[in-house]
Amino acid sequence: MFSLDWIYYAISWILLTWHSAWDAIGVPVGAVLGTNWAWILSIIFLVVTVRVILFPVFVKQIKSQRAMQALQPKVKELQEKHKGDRETLQKEMMELYRKEKANPLMGCLPMFLQIPVFLGLFHTLKRLNPDNQGKTLYGWTVEQFNSASSAKLFTAPISGRFGSTADDLAKLGANSGTVKIVAGILVLIMIATTYLTSRQMILKTGWAEDPQQRMVQRLMLYGIPVSLLVSGSIFPIGVIIYWVTNNLFTLGQQQWVLRKFPPLVPPKNAGKTTTAGKAAAQPAKTGGLLGRKTAQPAAKAPAAAPKVAAPKPGAKPLNPKKGGRPAKRQG
């Protein structure tokens, strides 16, 4: 059977390393405001450590999303071409992704890679209870284990859960109402920040044309936050701290990347180019400012020749060479 002990040892080593660092700096080991800040900061910087390690994967995720965006016009063409033939459409789209070296699932890869870390922390914190005191835990000393077992956030043990029984909390020396309030607030923050991380990306890049991509987006935006409403009750408070910190880190990291590398969002008026072009080709009305600048002046009609009145009976004839003066008499 495949063993996950290597994950538990790795998570424990990172936690203990950070705890030793905060202890050396002088962060109080005892409770301040009902909180053991050295252990809380160790969980927070466990997130920082993991995210720094996964940063190259995050960059690949962004590049994959850009590639998927660039392929949206071709995806739309395939959807129009194979409308009603779902099987052929899927084959053509898979071939397109293979040819262009784009992976629709790459957007979820950083989340999948963090699942072992989450499971490792969940398992480790679950072992932090008085029944296991005096035992070693994945390289922990007895002193370190006992210190972590009594670590609290505003008097709520980091190994406590919203769904913990009264007997479990009594063993931890915790008040049931306090644990439920602290855990409940953290669960709501976890749900909200999980939703915001997905919403932030979708607002910048837009909904995908590919049905498979759109389904993944909907799952990330609505499915996971709703599931946390139920599963959050079984997470230890320390795990929820990890999740909330991870979401806040993601929000900041995505904001930085989206500013530095703006998504390829097509202009909203792209489809109106033809109509606009036709309108521009027509002569503008002369009443407006634009009309005065672009309208071509109409060609002036040639002036009509002045009418010459016929001479009256008995009048002397005019000499055309001398501007209509009367001719001189002969002799």
- Virtual CA dihedral for 77, 83, 87, 90, nearest 10 degrees? 20
Evaluate whether residue 205 is within a structural domain.
Answer: yes
Local structure of 32: helix, strand or coil: strand
- Predicted local confidence at residue 279, as pLDDT: 44
- Predicted local confidence at residue 9, as pLDDT: 92
pLDDT tens readout for residues 232-260:
989 999 999 999 999 999 899 888 877 87
Evaluate whether residue 165 is within a structural domain.
Answer: yes
Which two three-digit tokens encode residue 9?
């040892």
Evaluate whether residue 34 is within a structural domain.
Answer: yes
Evaluate whether residue 278 is within a structural domain.
Answer: no
Q: What share of the chain is helix, strand, coil (3-state, %, to 5)?
A: 65, 5, 30
Evaluate whether residue 23 is within a structural domain.
Answer: yes
Q: Is 86 exposed, middle or buried (0-12, 13-18, 19+ CB in 10 A)?
A: exposed
Per-residue confidence in pLDDT tens, the chain, 331 aa: 567 888 999 999 999 999 999 989 988 766 678 899 999 999 999 999 999 998 888 777 777 777 777 887 888 888 888 888 888 888 888 888 888 777 776 666 777 888 888 888 998 888 887 666 656 678 888 888 888 888 999 999 999 999 888 888 888 888 889 999 999 999 999 999 999 998 987 887 778 766 777 888 888 889 989 999 888 989 999 999 999 999 999 899 888 877 876 766 554 444 444 444 444 444 444 444 344 444 444 555 555 555 555 555 555 555 545 444 555 554 4
Instruction: In whole angstroms, give the CA distance from residue 143 to residue 151.
Output: 12
- Predicted local confidence at residue 284, as pLDDT: 43
Evaluate whether residue 273 is within a structural domain.
Answer: no
Evaluate whether residue 326 is within a structural domain.
Answer: no
Say if residues 244 and 186 touch (Cβ distance below 8 Å). Answer: yes
- Counted residue by residue, the chain has a size of 331
On the CB side of 308, CA atoms within 13 Å amount to 6
Q: How many domains would you assign to the chain?
A: 1
Local structure of 271: helix, strand or coil: helix
pLDDT tens readout for residues 80-104:
888 888 888 888 888 888 887 777 7
Distances (CA, A) of 269 to 52, 71, 74, 208, 263: 40, 19, 19, 18, 17
Domain that holds residue 75: 5-265
- Predicted local confidence at residue 193, as pLDDT: 95
Evaluate whether residue 193 is within a structural domain.
Answer: yes
